[in-house]
Chains A and B, each alone.
Chain A
Amino acid sequence: MKKQTHNHRFWILPVITLIGVMLYGCSSQGDFSSNTDAAQKVYVAPGEYDEFYGFMSGGYNGQLGIYGIPSGRHLFTVPVFSQAAVNGYGYTDETKNMLNTSHGFVPWGDAHHPELSQTNGETDGRWIFINENNTPRIARIGLDEFRTQEIIEIPNSAGNHASAFVTPNTEYVSAATRFSIPMDENMKNMDAAIDSYAETFKGTISFIKVSGEGKMNVDFQILMPGFDYDLSHAGKGPSDGWAFFTSYNSEEAHTLLEINASKNDKDFIAAINWEKAAEYAKEGKGEMLPGKHVRNYVDHDEGGIVKTEVIEEVRVLDPRKLDGLVYFLPTPKSPHGVDVDPTGKYIVAGGKLSTVIPVHSFAKMIESIDSENYEGEVMGIPVLKYDSILHGEVENPGLGPLHTEFDGKGYAYTTAFISSEIVKWDIEKTEVVDRIGTYYSPGHLMIPGGDSQKPDGKYLVALNKITKDRYLPTGPEMFHSAQLIDISGDKMQLLLDFPTEGEPHYAQGIAAEKVIKRQKRFYDLAENSHPYRATSEKQTRIERDGKEVHVYMTTIRSHFSPDNIEGIKVGDKVYFHVTNLEQDWDVPHGFAIKGANTAELLIMPGETLTLTWEPKEVGVYPFYCTDFCSALHQEMQGYVRVSPESSNVDFKYGTGQ
Chain B
Amino acid sequence: MKTIQLLFATMIAVSVLVIGCGGNGGDAASKSSPKTTSESGLSEFEIKNGIGPVTEEIVIGEIDAEIAQKGAEVFELKCSACHKMNERYVGPALGDILELRTPAYVMNMILNPDGMVKKHPEAKKKLQEFMTPMPNQNLSQDEARAIAEYLASDIK
Interface size on B, residues (CB 8 A): 21
Residue numbers in B under 8 Å from A558 (CB-CB) = 90, 132
The answer to whether B4 touches A6 (Cβ under 8 A) is yes
> Which stretch from B45-53, B55-63, B72-80 is at the chain A interface?
B72-80
CB distance from B13 to the nearest CB of A (A): 14
A583 contacts B by Cβ under 8 Å: yes
For B3, give the chain A residue with the smallest CB separation. A7
| Inter-subunit contact A10/B132 (CB<8 Å) | no
Q: Does A587 contact B (CB under 8 A)?
A: yes
Interchain CB contact under 8 A, A584 and B135: yes
Select one of A3, A526, A536, A632 contacting B81, CB under 8 A.
A536
Instruction: Judge if B12 is at the interface, Cβ distance under 8 Å.
Output: no
Partner of B1, one of A3, A522, A526, A656: A3
Task: Using C-beta atoms within 8 Å of the partner chain, give the interface range for chain A.
Answer: 20 to 34
Q: Does B7 sit within 8 A of A, measured CB to CB?
A: yes
Asked whether A556 and B1 contact (CB < 8 A) given A583-B136, A583-B137, the answer is no
Inter-chain CA distance A6–B137, complex, in Å, is 63
Instruction: Give the contacts of A563-584 with B (CB-CB under 8 A).
Output: 581-584
How distant is the Cα of A554 from the Cα of B136 in the complex, in angstroms? 17
Within the assembled complex, what's the spacing in Å between the Cα atoms of A223 and B94? 71
Do residues A631 and B132 form an inter-chain contact, with CB atoms below 8 A? yes
- Contact for A536 among B1, B4, B76, B131, CB less than 8 A: B76
A657 vs chain B, min Cβ distance (A) = 12
B81 touches A631 (CB 8 A): no
Q: Is the CB of B90 within 8 A of A559?
A: yes
Shortest CB–CB separation between residue A45 and chain B, in angstroms?
A: 11
Q: Is the CB of A583 within 8 A of B3?
A: no
Q: Which one of A46, A535, A561, A632 lies within 8 Å of B77 (CB-CB)?
A: A535
Residues in chain B near residue A557, CB distance under 8 A: 90, 132-133, 135
Q: How far is the CA of A556 from the CA of B80 in the complex (A)?
A: 10
A631 contact from B7, B76, B131, B137, Cβ within 8 A: B131
Complex partner residue of A522 from B89, B132, B138, CB under 8 angstroms: B138
Asked if A537 contacts B135 (CB within 8 A), the reply is no
B78 & A10 in contact (Cβ 8 Å cutoff): no
B133, B136, B137, most chain A CB atoms within 10 A = B137
- Is B82 within 8 A of A10, CB to CB? no
Chain A contacts for B3, CB-based, 8 A = 7, 10
**Is the Cβ of B81 less than 8 Å from the Cβ of A656?**
no
In the assembled complex, the CB of B8 is this many whole angstroms from the nearest CB of chain A, namely: 9
Complexed CA–CA distance, A447 and B1 (Å): 58
On whether the beta carbons of A583 and B138 are closer than 8 Å, the reply is yes
CB-defined contacts of B77 to chain A, threshold 8 Å: 525-526, 535-536
Across-interface contacts of B135 in A (CB, < 8 A): 556-557, 582-584, 587
B132 touches A537 (CB 8 A): no
A632 touches B132 (CB 8 A): yes
List residues of B whose CB falls within 8 A of some A CB.
1, 3-4, 7, 24, 76-78, 80-82, 89-90, 131-133, 135-139
Sample of 12 further A-B pairs with CB below 8 A, known A3-B1, A556-B90: A10-B3, A10-B7, A537-B81, A554-B81, A556-B82, A559-B81, A583-B78, A583-B135, A583-B137, A584-B136, A631-B132, A632-B131
Query: Which 6 pairs from chain A and chain B are nearest by CB?
Result: A583-B137, A556-B81, A584-B136, A583-B138, A537-B81, A536-B76
Q: List 29 A-B contacts (CB under 8 A).
A: A3-B1, A6-B4, A10-B3, A10-B4, A10-B7, A46-B24, A522-B138, A525-B77, A526-B77, A535-B77, A537-B80, A537-B81, A554-B81, A556-B81, A556-B82, A556-B90, A556-B135, A557-B132, A557-B133, A558-B132, A559-B81, A559-B90, A581-B78, A584-B135, A584-B136, A584-B138, A587-B135, A630-B132, A630-B133
